[in-house]
Structure 1
């Protein structure tokens, strides 16, 4: 009942749209998939592990939502190709949310090995570029659409606990957003990114455990919910944001966000 009260007024905002959301079996990705589906979209989710996909599909389908899914490690070209093929079967892509990310060993950048650096860059930055590029024909087929990259507040101010290598990859997404927005505009495709702060997810657990200092930089003096980020993402994908492209929206309760 609460979900209906919240969403019934805009339940068809994405009616007839196809949304592909990577890294979408938990946390922000799952909340985003749920929100798009609640508002009428056909949603394709993915994750690196089949069990995670199965669990998320069971949850969302039991809520009566139109969601399908498959395994996809976005850093692997063949698995991205499978994801694109799945979307093609449904008619293309209107909305692409590249949420999948990796941070295998948080810590000081000086301790980052070459293999760790490659994994972080391949998943967070390289895969974002290629997934958007590979999705371009399917979005053009639909007459245009929206691409949204997942950055982080750490793209502005790196944190040792999270790892500066991760922050470097996410700062790169800010420029990728600008670059692709300029080139994709002629196809009626808007490209934006979001930069969440301290959001209550498993990914942010290392920061949430720092009970004494975790809110000292946050003006709202609290952490955020995955649904707060999902709301901004769906806004950016909607007609309400039809004149917004090349931008990064910070969702961090008032944390500093200046390069």
Structure 2
């Protein structure tokens, strides 16, 4: 029963991956998880060269050469084309594309007075209206439009990975098809707005994009799945939900009214998830969005 051993179920040895937003947060953790477990090459794309190099520096000594930084901006077709060309010059295929870049938007929520009462409608209108439209739209440029064009940019290398697969054998599990994983958020499901309207709406669009692309790319046998995280410590979340230096991963770090299991997600949570999705254990996933949030989404929904 060796095929049921964890070393086979979560095997990513030899895998070639591309990760956008690999210079920090969840993207960094996913890159390090793949490198630590034997992926052949992980190309990490981001705007900040220093952050990308820091990700490389955090990898185990034996895996540092497998993480390759590529500067790029997902909101620019020219930049994405350049990143693709650089990667295509170093590999003839990509097994896994993780579309992970994302930003928060301007803080736009339904505010209340200090005593909990509603703002007068004129004050609410002024507060929401005075946020520049360009700031609102920028969130969609990164989180949604950027995600779409990143997926499209790498289709040829994903297709090439499928063409390298061995012919199927009767009663033997075929290796996973090429896969795109998009990082969304539980905010894409929630009608409450704990951060801002633009972020929630952009992530709702990403959730739909996962479903639409997984259907549209069926004939090309390129799978598309999603991850919808709750609270994980990152550059985006420090200052809003986390104190500097506190990852919040121990029991009791959060009230159960905020996160039912009372802690945030840790590196092990997201690393284990991506290894599951990337290995043979995740080969049957397509059009699926996995929520990893300690029960926070159910609290947000029920308290609305």
Q: TM-score, normalised by structure 1?
A: 0.88
> Which consecutive residues of structure 2, in runs of 5 or more, have no partner in the other structure?
1-5, 111-127, 163-176
1:222 aligns with 2:267: no
| SS of 2:102 mapped into structure 1 | coil
- Asked if the contact 2:103/2:143 (under 8 Å) is kept, the reply is yes
- Asked if the contact 1:48/1:72 (under 8 Å) is kept, the reply is yes
Task: Output the CA distance in 1 between the equivalents of 2:232 and 2:10.
Answer: 28
1:113 aligns with 2:132: yes
Where does residue 208 of structure 1 map in the other structure?
242
Task: Output the CA distance in 2 between the equivalents of 1:238 and 1:185.
Answer: 20
Task: Output the CA distance in 1 between the equivalents of 2:192 and 2:241.
Answer: 10
- Asked if the contact 1:158/1:164 (under 8 Å) is kept, the reply is no
Once the 2 structures are TM-superposed, how far is the Cα of residue 213 of structure 1 from its aligned partner?
A: 6.7
Task: Output the CA distance in 2 between the equivalents of 1:75 and 1:214.
Answer: 37
- Asked if the contact 1:215/1:223 (under 8 Å) is kept, the reply is no
1:133 aligns with 2:147: no
- Asked if the contact 2:10/2:275 (under 8 Å) is kept, the reply is no
Where does residue 57 of structure 1 map in the other structure?
56
Once the 2 structures are TM-superposed, how far is the Cα of residue 214 of structure 1 from its aligned partner?
A: 5.7
1:249 aligns with 2:290: yes
Task: Output the CA distance in 1 between the equivalents of 2:33 and 2:8.
Answer: 11
Where does residue 4 of structure 1 map in the other structure?
none
| SS of 1:44 mapped into structure 2 | strand
Once the 2 structures are TM-superposed, how far is the Cα of residue 256 of structure 1 from its aligned partner?
A: 2.6
- Asked if the contact 1:24/1:47 (under 8 Å) is kept, the reply is yes
Where does residue 209 of structure 2 map in the other structure?
176
- Asked if the contact 1:27/1:226 (under 8 Å) is kept, the reply is no
The partner residue of 1:35 within 33, 56, 59 is 33
Report the count of equivalent residues: 252
1:134-213 mapped onto 2 (5 Å cutoff): 134-143=153-162, 144-157=177-190, 160-205=193-238, 206-209=240-243
Structure of larger gyration radius: 2
Cα pair distance change 1:167/1:254, threshold 3 Å: same
- Asked if the contact 1:194/1:248 (under 8 Å) is kept, the reply is yes
1:98-109 mapped onto 2 (5 Å cutoff): 98-108=99-109
Once the 2 structures are TM-superposed, how far is the Cα of residue 10 of structure 1 from its aligned partner?
A: 5.4
Where does residue 5 of structure 1 map in the other structure?
none
> Which consecutive residues of structure 1, in runs of 5 or more, have no partner in the other structure?
1-7
Once the 2 structures are TM-superposed, how far is the Cα of residue 165 of structure 1 from its aligned partner?
A: 0.8
- Asked if the contact 1:194/1:251 (under 8 Å) is kept, the reply is yes
Greater fraction helix: 1
CA RMSD of aligned residues (A): 2.6
Question: What stretches of structure 1 move > 4 A for 4+ residues in a row?
Answer: 158-161, 209-215
| SS of 1:202 mapped into structure 2 | coil
Task: Output the CA distance in 1 between the equivalents of 2:255 and 2:82.
Answer: 40
Cα pair distance change 1:106/1:238, threshold 3 Å: farther
Once the 2 structures are TM-superposed, how far is the Cα of residue 232 of structure 1 from its aligned partner?
A: 1.3
| SS of 1:244 mapped into structure 2 | coil
| SS of 1:256 mapped into structure 2 | helix
Task: State which drifts further: 49-58 or 28-37.
Answer: 49-58
1:240 aligns with 2:238: no
What does the per-residue CA deviation read over 1:1-33, in whole Å, with 9 as the maximum and x for residues that have no partner? Answer: xxxxxxx94598222221000101122111100
- Asked if the contact 2:105/2:136 (under 8 Å) is kept, the reply is no
